[in-house]
Amino acid sequence: MKKTIITIATAAIILPTAVFAGEHNQKEDRIVSYNGPVETVTVASLMENNSMFAETKAVVEGTLIKQISADTFIFSDGKDTIQIELDDDIIVPHAIDANTKVRLFGEFEGGNTPEIEVDQLQVL
């Protein structure tokens, strides 16, 4: 009887974990790496509405010129700079440097320290 209870308890713990792991792998398989034209904005146009309540979806292209912390960088579009914060689940397959051109998809948030919270990073 004890062995049956232990077997059932073990299965109850392991099966949901396996299901979630399978769903995670399927999600990674659905990522699209599109390199065609995308409507982008400049850092200057984002900074025009820099109020504390400003929240705007944004796609910008440029380079990461300085790393401040593990997930915070300074981004430049070639003319202006802004702080960005990378989402925790962003994985870049290879190292990038200040010369690597990237496209960032995220949300601009104004205030004292305006920044873009990046949901997706694409190396161009």
Q: Tell me what pLDDT residue 53 has.
A: 78
- CA–CA separation, 98 vs 94, rounded Å? 14
- CA–CA separation, 123 vs 98, rounded Å? 12
Percent of the chain predicted with pLDDT > 70: 75
> 43-123: CATH homologous superfamily?
Bacterial OB-fold (2.40.50.200)
Given a cut of 60, whether residue 25 has pLDDT beyond it is no
- CA–CA separation, 88 vs 85, rounded Å? 9
Give residue for tokens 């409507």: 39
pLDDT tens, position by position, 30-73: 556 666 677 889 888 888 887 777 788 999 999 999 999 989 99
Q: Phi and psi for 66 in degrees, rounded to 5? A: -155, 140
Q: Where are the domains of the chain?
A: 1-30, 43-123
The two structure tokens encoding residue 62: 């440029």
- CA–CA separation, 66 vs 12, rounded Å? 47
